[in-house]
Structure 1
Amino acid sequence: MRSVQDAGGAPLSGEAGTRPAGARRIALLGVVAAFVYALDVVSKLLVVQFLEHKAPTTVIPGVLVLNVIRNPGAAFSIGTGMTIIFTVIALGVVVAILRTARQLRSLPWAITLGLLLGGAVGNLTDRIFRSPAPLQGHVVDFLQAFPVTRFPVFNLADSAIVCGGILAVFLAWRGYQIDGSRQTGETADG
């Protein structure tokens, strides 16, 4: 009897084959999320301690500047008066990712969801615990790429969310499913 494998090489058929593969994929999601979260938290602690209330620091002229700001809104400072709503949305995203993880059997999706979860929890931590108030905290942003173009200031959590979003679109476009299967573009009509 031949076994069918997912895109990551894990068996899809048989009770014994899917549980370990799923558990490994969930563990990978957790490791990626924890790594992203740790990088985000440590980077924010360092920039707040050493760079906040100081002039922007040029790292690579014309390419990268460290410019610490507190963002009460979403990406690009959209909705600055709706911090509590963004907190609730971020909580919803975290819950959705955790619920989806139960079906996870795909290595690429494990990495994707790990990036999204780590980034969401990183920014959610700011919204819950930073000033001006619990559940209304402002997110610490500090990376400004191409400052001449007025590119928005962002952080490592934002970068992970964007990378995870791009990967999710790519995986969906290529037909990779969270359960490890792959859909092709062919229809039953031919």
Structure 2
Amino acid sequence: MRLIALAAIAVFALDQASKFFVMEWLDLIGKRTIDVMPPFLNFIMAWNRGVNFGVLTTEADLARWALVVLAIAISALLLVWALRRGGRWLLVGAGMVIGGALANALDRVRYGAVADFLNMSCCGIDNPYVFNLADVAIFAGAGLMILTSGEKRAAGR
């Protein structure tokens, strides 16, 4: 339980701190765009009212709260599943997913949408999408869970 909690708390805190720093301290909300290391890294303020990549975007308040409830429910189910399944790295991956999902859910509660600001492009490819550290953690945590899903639970746990 400790591993999953530590990973979730670390991801949640890192995501929320990065959003505070970029949105408030650097005033990305007002500036809308900050070139950090163009074209590789730019901060672009975006509000995601849908799911991944803005799919199912809507202004409906019911959808906002449905996505908050869905994130909490999936996080709870993932927690139970991961604790039963075992494996150290699977627990870390699940914690990363849970921390990222709950951080994005908090954005929906606070702002009505998920705050995204990272835009990365490379090698002549112009990436139109914007994301945040919670999204990175969800992706990385899911990958870690897939890679370690066959890991055996340690004896005595």
Q: Is TM-score (shorter-chain normalized) higher than 0.5?
A: yes
Q: What is the aligned-residue RMSD (CA, Å)?
A: 2.0
1:31 aligns with 2:6: yes
Question: How many residues align structurally?
Answer: 147
Q: 1:29 Cα deviation (Å)?
A: 1.1
Aligned-partner SS, 2:148: helix
Identity %: 31
1:126 aligns with 2:107: yes
1:101 to 1:126, Cα distance in 2 relative to 1, 3 A: same
Distance in 2, Cα, partners of 1:119 & 1:102: 18
Pairing of 1:84-95 with structure 2 (within 5 A): 84-95=65-76
Q: Aligned letter for 1:122?
A: A
Q: Aligned letter for 1:176?
A: E
- The TM-score with structure 1 as length reference comes to 0.70
1:71 to 1:47, Cα distance in 2 relative to 1, 3 A: same
Pairing of 1:144-159 with structure 2 (within 5 A): 144-146=119-121, 149-159=126-136
Distance in 1, Cα, partners of 2:2 & 2:82: 10
Higher relative contact order (CA 8 A, sep 6+): 2
Q: 1:141 Cα deviation (Å)?
A: 0.2
Q: Say which one has the larger Rg.
A: 1
Q: 1:77 Cα deviation (Å)?
A: 0.8
Structure 1, unpaired ranges of 5+: 1-25, 131-136, 182-190
Distance in 2, Cα, partners of 1:87 & 1:111: 22
Q: Aligned letter for 2:132?
A: N
